[in-house]
């Protein structure tokens, strides 16, 4: 991995947005279409605010979440809601979006159809990742049932995760899908997460799932 340190979060957000825009532009020039998976939560919002204005061939870009809580899009806990409100606007409104939540469907029954839809996008051009202080990424939480299967290179494109610390089931892109992205950007803030990342480097992916995607990853950190 390559570690990038910034004097403040605003400069980090601008820089990461510019780098992702460049990654997408280069991928589009070579392949004609591109897919990007983005983290949810509070961290990526400012990056989305800058990225959505980038001059790109957005109509040939497919956006998806790295993971999604099994809640409708009108829920405040929906990553799709954040992505639609903060990223799929301005110039990026022309991009397509691949939602994971399916109304009236059990998440386990959604694994097959969603995996096929992700597979249809080919490999990811970009993955914008986050990490918790427990060293999880996407919804790949340490100790969660099914983690070993989700870390396997033979896993389907998505997996259902039910972490005890969370109130609902989640759909997550599996490790090999995230790790296959041509460009991977991990954004973390604060000393606690920097220390967690240092710990993750000494642990296997089963204990520190972020470890599964750190190869050739650009890590972006600000206090």
Q: Encode pLDDT of 183-204 as tens digits.
A: 999 999 999 999 999 999 999 9
Whose tokens are 């060293």? That residue is: 135
pLDDT value of residue 165: 85
Q: Does the structure show a pLDDT above 90 at 168?
A: yes
Q: Element (H or E) spanning 2, and its range?
A: strand 2-5
Backbone angles phi, psi at 2, to 5 degrees: -120, 125
Nearest Cα to Cα of residue 25 among 1, 60, 49: 60
Taking the C-alpha atoms of residue 85 and residue 164, their distance in angstroms, rounded to an integer, is 29
How confident is residue 122, by pLDDT bands cut at 50, 70 and 90? confident
**Average pLDDT score over residue span 97-119:** 97
pLDDT value of residue 108: 98
**Average pLDDT score over residue span 213-222:** 98
Contact 19, 187 (CB under 8 A): no
Considering the entire predicted model, what is its pTM?
0.97
Nearest Cα to Cα of residue 198 among 221, 180, 175, 165: 221
**Average pLDDT score over residue span 52-71:** 98
Instruction: Report CA torsion sign: 187, 170, 205, 194.
Output: positive
Q: Does the structure show a pLDDT above 90 at 123?
A: no
């Amino acid at each position: 991995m390559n570690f990038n340190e910034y004097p403040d979060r605003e400069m980090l957000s601008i820089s990461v947005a510019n780098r992702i825009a460049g990654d997408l532009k280069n991928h589009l020039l070579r392949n004609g279409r591109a897919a990007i998976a983005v983290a949810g939560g509070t961290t990526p919002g400012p990056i989305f605010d800058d990225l959505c204005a980038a001059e790109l061939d957005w109509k040939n870009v497919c956006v998806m979440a790295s993971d999604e809580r099994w809640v409708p899009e009108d829920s405040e806990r929906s990553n799709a809601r954040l992505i639609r409100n903060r990223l799929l606007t301005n110039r990026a409104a022309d991009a397509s979006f691949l939602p994971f939540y399916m109304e009236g469907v059990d998440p386990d029954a959604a694994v097959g159809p969603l995996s096929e839809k992700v597979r249809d996008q080919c490999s990811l051009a970009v993955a914008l990742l986050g990490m918790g202080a427990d060293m999880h990424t996407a919804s790949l939480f340490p100790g969660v049932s099914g983690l070993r299967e989700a870390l396997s290179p033979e896993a389907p494109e998505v997996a259902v995760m039910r972490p005890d610390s969370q109130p609902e089931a989640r759909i997550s892109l599996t490790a090999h899908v995230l790790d296959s992205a041509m460009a991977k950007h991990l954004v973390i803030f604060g000393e606690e997460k920097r220390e967690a990342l240092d710990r993750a480097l000494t642990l296997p992916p089963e204990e520190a799932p972020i470890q599964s995607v750190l190869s050739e990853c650009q890590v972006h950190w600000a206090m």
